[in-house]
Structure 1
Amino acid sequence: MSLKKRIVFYVSSFFSVLFGVISIIVYLQFSSFRSEESKDRLEEKAVNTMKLLIEVKEVDHQLLKLIDSNAINKLYNEKTLIFNDKYELLYSSVDDAVIKWTIDDLKKLKNKKEFFKTLDKYDFFGMYYDSQSQDYYALVLAEDKYGNRKLQYLSYLLIMTFIAGTCFVWLVSSFFIKSLVAPLDAFQKKITNITENNLTLRLEENLKKDEINLMAKAFNQMMKRIQDSYNGQKEFTSNASHELRTPIARVMTQVENLMNLPGHSPETMVYLKNIASDAEQMGDLVNSLLLLSRAENNLVPVKPDLKRIDELIFEAIEITKISFPDLWVNFSISENNLMEESLEINCNEGLLRIAFVNLIRNAYLYSEDKKITIEIEQISANSLSVRIVNKGMVLNDSEKTKLFQAFMRGKNAKSTNGTGLGLRITQRILYYHGATISYNNENDILNVFTIIFNF
């Protein structure tokens, strides 16, 4: 779960729980208030009934029942019972409600003076009344219809409010937190897009003194130091390579001149040939470093020349055959109505030819039978693939991850001369042409380089 989602979850959950607790407290408080209010009404009913029965001599049982009958709508399903000190029933209201009682209940009531409890939907109240003449007991049972309806309505209202409030809190918190962390999202996107070719990318700064702006300033300062260090390294490589070209060329020329002079012994000629070979290899290394440095510094412009890929490959094959006459190439193009137009791309002809020469030369050097296969295929309306396949020792997983790094050479390169820069240069050239290159092996015996050109 992302940080943004966690913050939304924690904040929304906190307010949802808080709102739920408040709703429960409100419900319990109103329920307690309803019970107290119902108790007061039942107590008032019991006291008034006993006073009419005991203190007003003009009121007999029949008149009291008549009064009680006229007032029955005040309390729903009411039942009132009055007992004397001998636990004899003196009065019973006219309604049909039933009160379950025992003499033990009346005895306990004398000690407690009064009680109140809820039985299902009924409220039950009992009280002990001590008059001057004798003691009396009153039991009143009634249904608090209005109070229960209000409590039920309140519960529905609280539930609906809780659901609506929870949804509102989640939406609002999601919106505000998304707005708050939007700079972090932009920060992450820009960091993701930073590569060695766009180290000039900087984060936006403002006059605010919040943590995000401070982080942006610190990041920009770090990027400036990295860019300065990286540019210094590339500049040194370029300058050193450029300065080394002249003395190496002189060494090669002087060695060739010495080899052309007569009178050398066979051993001397062997030494001179070895020196010439080493100087040539060193020259290739310096030229490769210089070309790579220029490509990474964007010093080699990509000119939009329209060129057919198959023609570039044929030219690269001919160039490679000059050094390796025994090269055998199986070339094929998949049949497609749009293939003629797809073969033409805008490119720097010289650079792309170098890339294909490197790949063909690499496939030849590491091939068991000196044979390679080149396949061109249109894989979609906007993309074209070029596969270069050779049969030979394949790379392991560790070597695959480092294949396009500078100076990387696999175990299969022990008996082959090279600088370890060819594939790196090829990748850079293809990158500047909007193409990608990847490596995989098939059947643990075929090395396959796949180039994807996007139009």
Structure 2
Amino acid sequence: MSLKRKIAFNFSIAYSLIFAVVMGIIYYASYDFRKEEFLERLRDKLDFTLQFILKNENFGKEDANFDIEETEDELFHDELLIFNQHKQLLYSTVKDKKISWEQRLLYQLDQINELHIQQKDMELLGTSTQIRGEKYYIFVTAQDRTGQLKLAFLRYILVIVYFITTGFVWIFSYNFAKKLLSPLDRFTEQITEITAHKLTTKLEENKSEGELSILARAFNTMMIRINDVFQSQKEFTASASHEIRTPLTRIAFQLQNLSNKSDLAPGLRATLLNVTNDIDQLSHLTSSLILLTQFDRENIQQVFKEERIDEIIFDAYETILKNYPNLYLDFKIDESQEPTLIIHGIRSLLEVVFINLFKNAALYSENSEVAVSIQEKPAELRISMSNRGAAIPTEDRKKLFEAFSRGQNAKNIEGSGLGLKIVQRILEYHQAHIYYTSQAKKIHVFTLIFPIYPINQ
């Protein structure tokens, strides 16, 4: 769960719980108020009945006829029952239906002065009193229709308000958290664009002293320090490579002059040739290191030009033939899409890509043959280079494009282990990709994919 969702979720849950408690308190306070208010009305009814009994001296005597008048506060569905001290019914307002009561209620009033019972919508209030030496039990029942309707309406309003308000708060809290953390989203986008070649990217800083501004300034400071370290490493590598390449060139020149002498013994000439090959390998290694450091310059895409990929491939092939004259090239172009074969990039660097790939084919191919096929699609240009050679172990395939990595099949072959790494680095600058696949046990295929639209678009 993302940070913005956590903030919105926790805030909304907290609000929902607190608001639910508040709504519950309001409802139960109203419930108790209605109950107490209606209980007072029932007590008024009882008091009125007691006053009537006190005023009517003939109440309770046989053959006495009397009617208890209604109070001004007329109750809904009210019924009045009066019992004597023998727990016999003396008076009832119940008409047209059988009168029934629970005898246990009368005995309960012997223990307490007042009894209140609520059964569904009906409420009962009973009391016992001594009047003129006689004990009377008085019960009044009624229904608080108005109070119940008001309470039901309040419950309906509270539920509706709760769900509407809670839904609004959930939406508001998510949008608020999203807006509050939007700088983090921008930071994430900018950080994901940072690569080893784009270490000068800075996050947007504000003058405020907020946490995000402090984080942005701290991150920018860290990137400046990292960039300084990278620049120091590149400068050291470039300087060391230049310093090493110069004496290597002089040594190679002197060895070549020495090997041209006619009076050299055959064994010495072979030794000089081996030393010259070692010097060439060291020179190639230093040139590769210099080339790697030069790639880490920004804005390289500003010097890209339109180039024909077939011309670059043939120029690279002609270059590699000088050292490997037996390498045979099988070149094919898929003409079903009327290809233009134009890409955008730096010609000299792209030639290095194909020179290294041709060199690998010459070194590791069993029959000194490499097949190149080009297929152009609406948005990309695909180049496949395949050759037959010894199988590459699965564990070595994962390290093909790592610097100074050499597989088991390269133990007896001279090389620096930088060729494919340089190829990958050059292609990255051209927004291109390279993949290795093995179609059969001894068929190796390198697939290069170039975008055919202008790089700056």
Q: Please, what TM-score do these two structures have when normalized by structure 1? A: 0.90
Q: Given the superposition, is the C-alpha separation of residues 208 and 302 from structure 1 closer, same or farther in structure 2, using an over 3 Å criterion?
A: closer
Q: Given the superposition, is the C-alpha separation of residues 129 and 305 from structure 1 closer, same or farther in structure 2, using an over 3 Å criterion?
A: same
For 2:67, the aligned partner's letter is L
CA contact (8 A) 1:302 1:348 kept: no
CA contact (8 A) 1:281 1:418 kept: yes
For 2:358, the aligned partner's letter is I
Q: CA deviation at 1:302?
A: 6.0
What is the rounded CA distance, in whole Å, between the counterparts of 1:180 and 1:433 in structure 2?
Answer: 38
- Secondary structure (helix, strand or coil) at the match of 1:130 reads strand
Gaps of 5+ in 1: none
What is the rounded CA distance, in whole Å, between the counterparts of 1:152 and 1:171 in structure 2?
Answer: 29
Q: Given the superposition, is the C-alpha separation of residues 302 and 361 from structure 1 closer, same or farther in structure 2, using an over 3 Å criterion?
A: farther
CA contact (8 A) 1:307 1:345 kept: yes
Q: Given the superposition, is the C-alpha separation of residues 42 and 315 from structure 1 closer, same or farther in structure 2, using an over 3 Å criterion?
A: same
RMSD (CA atoms): 2.5
Q: CA deviation at 1:453?
A: 1.4
Aligned counterpart, 2:420: 423
Number of residues of Structure 1 aligned to a counterpart in Structure 2: 448
What is the rounded CA distance, in whole Å, between the counterparts of 2:46 and 2:149 in structure 1?
Answer: 24
Q: CA deviation at 1:313?
A: 1.8
Written as runs of structure 1 = structure 2, the 5 A alignment for 1:316-327 is: 316-327=316-327
Aligned counterpart, 1:48: 48
Could you give the per-residue CA deviations for residues 169-201 of structure 1, whole angstroms, max 9, x where no partner exists?
112211221222222222222211111111111
Matched, 1:382 2:376: no
Q: CA deviation at 1:443?
A: 4.7
Aligned counterpart, 1:355: 353
Aligned counterpart, 1:2: 2
Matched, 1:449 2:449: no
Q: CA deviation at 1:153?
A: 1.0
Identity level (%)? 37
What is the rounded CA distance, in whole Å, between the counterparts of 1:203 and 1:300 in structure 2?
Answer: 22
For 2:339, the aligned partner's letter is E
CA contact (8 A) 1:296 1:428 kept: no
What is the rounded CA distance, in whole Å, between the counterparts of 2:287 and 2:97 in structure 1?
Answer: 110
Aligned counterpart, 1:440: 437
Aligned counterpart, 2:67: 63
313-322 or 7-16, which deviates more: 313-322
What is the rounded CA distance, in whole Å, between the counterparts of 2:442 and 2:8 in structure 1?
Answer: 53
Aligned counterpart, 1:235: 235
Q: CA deviation at 1:228?
A: 0.7
- Secondary structure (helix, strand or coil) at the match of 1:142 reads strand
What is the rounded CA distance, in whole Å, between the counterparts of 1:231 and 1:98 in structure 2?
Answer: 105
Could you give the per-residue CA deviations for residues 276-301 of structure 1, whole angstroms, max 9, x where no partner exists?
01000001111111122112235977
CA contact (8 A) 1:116 1:126 kept: yes
Aligned counterpart, 1:153: 153
Larger proportion of helix: 1
What is the rounded CA distance, in whole Å, between the counterparts of 2:89 and 2:435 in structure 1?
Answer: 102
Aligned counterpart, 1:372: 370
Aligned counterpart, 1:329: 329
Gaps of 5+ in 2: none
Q: Given the superposition, is the C-alpha separation of residues 353 and 113 from structure 1 closer, same or farther in structure 2, using an over 3 Å criterion?
A: same
CA contact (8 A) 1:77 1:95 kept: no
Q: Given the superposition, is the C-alpha separation of residues 234 and 102 from structure 1 closer, same or farther in structure 2, using an over 3 Å criterion?
A: same
- Secondary structure (helix, strand or coil) at the match of 2:386 reads strand
What is the rounded CA distance, in whole Å, between the counterparts of 1:217 and 1:240 in structure 2?
Answer: 35
Q: Given the superposition, is the C-alpha separation of residues 393 and 45 from structure 1 closer, same or farther in structure 2, using an over 3 Å criterion?
A: farther
CA contact (8 A) 1:435 1:453 kept: yes
CA contact (8 A) 1:79 1:99 kept: no
Q: Given the superposition, is the C-alpha separation of residues 14 and 300 from structure 1 closer, same or farther in structure 2, using an over 3 Å criterion?
A: closer
What is the rounded CA distance, in whole Å, between the counterparts of 1:257 and 1:217 in structure 2?
Answer: 60
What is the rounded CA distance, in whole Å, between the counterparts of 2:371 and 2:98 in structure 1?
Answer: 102
For 1:358, the aligned partner's letter is N
What is the rounded CA distance, in whole Å, between the counterparts of 1:389 and 1:95 in structure 2?
Answer: 109
CA contact (8 A) 2:198 2:298 kept: no
